[in-house]
Amino acid sequence: MNNDPDFVVDIEGLSEPDACETSPKRSWIGVHFECCDVYVRIYKNPAGTAYEGRCPRCLQKVRARVGPEGTSARFFSAG
């Protein structure tokens, strides 16, 4: 079975967007949810005041505040 398309559309002046335009860098921390033994990344809230997320299995919430007296650690355990 041939997976190549039967046609190609080429629009003059249109180019692929740069990677940085399509996926802006977002701050995250890694959290291991011990309750369900899963690892996820959680991201900063829109205000930039905390990292917020949930366990993807049991939906337990986790929130890590951002502040000047915080830690430089990037990986944590919860629940």
- Interior CA angle at 34 toward 79 and 45, to 5°? 60
CB 38 within 8 A of CB 59: no
pLDDT band at residue 42, thresholds of 50, 70 and 90? very high
**pTM of the predicted model as reported, rounded to 2 decimal places:** 0.66
- For β-strands 61-65 and 50-54, DSSP reports them as antiparallel
What does the alpha-carbon distance between residue 79 and residue 62 come to, in Å, rounded to a whole number?
A: 9
Q: What is the pLDDT of residue 18?
A: 65
Structure-token pair, residue 68: 């000047």
Q: What is the pLDDT of residue 60?
A: 95
pLDDT for residue 17 is more than 80: no
